[in-house]
Every structure is written in structure tokens, then in C-alpha cells.
């Protein structure tokens, strides 16, 4: 009798397990997207910067939050938008968000960013998502970003100089231990932009890198 070949885990399975096992912390929470979405030192200046940007629009923008997680960040931004679309790969998390957060202009969808067609919007928010994904998945996502006018990208990267975009297996960890981080302007992604501006940066204690938020204006 032939042995059954064990199928490799898909990113959806991996991310679902991370939340089920509280691998990003927050054991007292039903779903917890990590300190990057909860620590005041990280969250407060980030929200201030994003709100300032959203207020600069003459008309309220449509925002698509790719990897909205537990929505501890996004819930503060909905009022500054015409429509806010929260997307995540974890089905149970999206169902929870639908029940917990309710507003006419709020829309939650369960999608795989690398495989599925993404919603139309004026601006994309990608907050500490790409850092957990393989280069192949990032490349698929970056290829779709050219369809949007603005992309707000937040990544946890090393202090000082580092080698960008070392590959990893999608999951809980990031590239920091390899002295690497995601830079979508560099190979193998080579994302072309009209302009870029740093909106926020939080330097973490104990040489744990920095969390940088950059606004890209796309051609």
C-alpha cells in the first residue's frame, strides 16, 4: 500500500494556527495580532500619521486594509474613509470581525492576498504583513499593487544597513534574525513608484529593529 504524501501547509493553515495557538501573544484575547497592533508606543504615532494622511483627501477615500488582523488598528480609521475594506486570510478571524465591528461603510472579506483578486480602492494599507510571507507570495501581491494610487506599507526591519528580501517560509517569524527585511523597491520585487514618503518610524528597544511606515504614490 502506497504511503500517503503529506501535503505542505498552505499559508492559510499556518496563519490560522498562529491565531489558534496565540503564537503572537495575547493569551487573554480571542484573536491577537501581536504587539505591533497593540503596544501604545507603536500604535499611537502610527495612527496619528495615518489619520493626518487620510484627512488630506478632498473626498473621503476608499481604503483596503490587506491583512487587517484583529482590527485593533483599523477600527480607529474607519471614520476617515468613504468605505473601509478589511481583508484577512483567516476565515474565523474575519467572521469574528464581522460580528464585533459593525458600521455601514465597513466591509470584511476573507481572501488570500497572493492568490485572490483584490478589492478596488484609492489606497492600500499593508501593515506588517509582507514580513511574514515568502518572496514568491510577496511578488504576487506586489504585482497587484500597481492598480492602486497609494500604498501605505509598514515593515519591521533591522536598524542600520541590511540585506533586503532574504527569502523565508511563510509563517510566524520575520527576516530580522537574518539581518534582513522587506523592501519592495529592491529585487526581486522592483516595485516602481512615482514618489515615496516616510510617515512614521518606531525604534524598538533591545536592538529589536524598527517599524517603518512608508507612503508610496504609484504611477
Domains and CATH numbers, the chain: 11-217 (3.40.50.150)
Res. 81 pLDDT band, cuts 50 70 90: very high
Sign of CA dihedral 183, 187, 188, 192: positive
The mean per-residue pLDDT over the stretch 172-188 comes to 97
- The HSE-up count of residue 14 (CA atoms within 13 Å, CB side) is 14
The mean per-residue pLDDT over the stretch 55-66 comes to 98
Q: What is the pLDDT of residue 214?
A: 98
Q: Say if residue 180's pLDDT is above 70.
A: yes
Q: Cell 494622511 belongs to which residue? A: 53
Q: Please give the distance of CA 148 from its chain centroid, rounded to a whole number.
A: 16
Q: What is the pLDDT of residue 41?
A: 97
Q: What is the pLDDT of residue 142?
A: 98
Distance CA 122, CA 156 (A): 24
The mean per-residue pLDDT over the stretch 58-71 comes to 98
Q: What is the pLDDT of residue 9?
A: 75
DSSP label at residue 4: P
Around Cβ 74, how many Cβ atoms within 10 Å?
24
Sign of CA dihedral 187, 188, 191, 196: negative
Nearest to 215 by CA among 65, 93, 62, 49: 49
Nearby residues of 102 by Cβ (< 8 Å), 6 or more positions away: none
The mean per-residue pLDDT over the stretch 29-51 comes to 97
Strands (E), the chain: 62-66, 83-88, 106-110, 123-127, 150-157, 163-164, 180-181, 195-203, 210-217
Amino acid at each position: 500500500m502506497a504511503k500517503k504524501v503529506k501535503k505542505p501547509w498552505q499559508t492559510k493553515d499556518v496563519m490560522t494556527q498562529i491565531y489558534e495557538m496565540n503564537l503572537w501573544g495575547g493569551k487573554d484575547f480571542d484573536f491577537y495580532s501581536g504587539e505591533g497592533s497593540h503596544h501604545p508606543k507603536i500604535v499611537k504615532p502610527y495612527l496619528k500619521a495615518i489619520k493626518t494622511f487620510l484627512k488630506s483627501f478632498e473626498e473621503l477615500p476608499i481604503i483596503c486594509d490587506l491583512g487587517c488582523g484583529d482590527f485593533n488598528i483599523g477600527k480607529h480609521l474607519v471614520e476617515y474613509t468613504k468605505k473601509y475594506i478589511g481583508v484577512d486570510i483567516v476565515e474565523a478571524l474575519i467572521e469574528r470581525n464581522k460580528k464585533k465591528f459593525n458600521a455601514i461603510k465597513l466591509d470584511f472579506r476573507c481572501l488570500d492576498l497572493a492568490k485572490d483578486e483584490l478589492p478596488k480602492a484609492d489606497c492600500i494599507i499593508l501593515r506588517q504583513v509582507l514580513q511574514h510571507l515568502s518572496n514568491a507570495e510577496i511578488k504576487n501581491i506586489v504585482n497587484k499593487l500597481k492598480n492602486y494610487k497609494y500604498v501605505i506599507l509598514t515593515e519591521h526591519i533591522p536598524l542600520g544597513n541590511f540585506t533586503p528580501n532574504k527569502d523565508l517560509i511563510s509563517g510566524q517569524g520575520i527576516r530580522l534574525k537574518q539581518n534582513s527585511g522587506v523592501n519592495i523597491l529592491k529585487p526581486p520585487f522592483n516595485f516602481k513608484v512615482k514618489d515615496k514618503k516616510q510617515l512614521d518610524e518606531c525604534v524598538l528597544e533591545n536592538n529589536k529593529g524598527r517599524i517603518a511606515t512608508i507612503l508610496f504614490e504609484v504611477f
